[in-house]
Structure 1
Amino acid sequence: MTAGSALLVDFYQQLRRSWSIETSSRWQPDNPACGQCGVTALVVHDKLGGEILKTDVNGAWHFYNRIDGRRVDLTMSQFNSPIGYDDIPSNRDEALGDCSQQQYELLKSRVTGVV
């Protein structure tokens, strides 16, 4: 996470508590952010606006956000080494391709109380 506001820290903590095998089939108890990038980018976009971006990490797309000109990657902890960000513009449809509608709706409801 690159932006240090209290809002982002609180939101990250809500997300971390909400991630599960139900929000990503790649979730792991010892790596809760694993596989959560698409679904998280969507929920961050819902709550905070901004843009959805992507970058290639080991041959797979990794999704994250840019808010007020700052990169916000709340799932970067899933990786063992630093990411070389390409900041390629993406969109909600591409991020939703990384998860299911049900996973998205579940995570959204867990962190916002709204489906």
Structure 2
Amino acid sequence: MNGGTGATRTPWSLLDLDRAFRACWAADTCSPDDLPEWRPDSPSVGHCDITTLVVNDLFGGDLLVADVRRAGSPHGHHWWNRLPNGVELDLTRDQFRAGETLSPPRTVTRPPGPLPRRHPEYELLRARLTRHLGPLPSGGEG
């Protein structure tokens, strides 16, 4: 995978991808709704939306979203990917440690153009990942 630049680079492993995201998630890219729960020892908290979009930039496929419930009460949404081959990939699933449950997922369409919400955080995450992985394919932001 060369990010469309024509440059040759070492192929990524799934472990490389996971490590890069974990190194790049931070409080300044966390969703404001989840910031009170974000901690360095649980860096995926509040990052499912923009992580899912970056994974979609890399591999295509479908965006999945489910409602989250904690102790029976609504507690936001969770996003992950279905790759073109049908495999579901969720790099932020480990954030669920308090007995949360997810509704069955629904497939959503990525909006065209810049993200209406969290665009600066998405761009910051992509920039950090580029430092770890090298050039990334163009995003879906138009």
Short-chain TM bin: 0.7 to 0.9
Query: How many pairs align?
Result: 107
Q: Please give the TM-score of this superposition, normalised by the length of structure 2.
A: 0.66
Instruction: Indicate conservation of the 8 Å contact 1:23/1:104, yes or no.
Output: yes
More RCO (CA 8 Å, sep 6+): 1
Of 104, 108, 123, which residue of structure 2 is paired with 1:105?
123
**Alignment-derived partner of residue 32 in structure 1:** 43
Distance 1:110 1:100 in 2: 16
Question: Gapped runs of 5+ residues in structure 2?
Answer: 1-11
> What do residues 46-87 of structure 1 show as CA deviations (whole Å, max 9, x unaligned)?
111111100111221111001120111100011014754622
Judged with a 3 Å threshold, the aligned counterparts in structure 2 of structure 1 residues 82 and 13 are, in CA distance, closer, same or farther, namely: farther
Task: Specify the alignment match of 2:80 in structure 1.
Answer: 64
CA distance in 1, matches of 2:103, 2:18: 20
CA, structure 1 residues 71+110, in 2 after alignment: closer, same or farther (shift >3 Å)?
same
| Aligned-pair CA distance for 1:101 | 0.6
Higher helix share: 1
Structure 1 runs of 4+ aligned residues shifted over 6 Å read: none
Structure 1 length-normalised TM: 0.80
Stretches of structure 1 lacking an aligned partner (at least 5 in a row): 1-5
Q: Contact 2:52–2:80 at 8 Å: present in 1 too?
A: yes
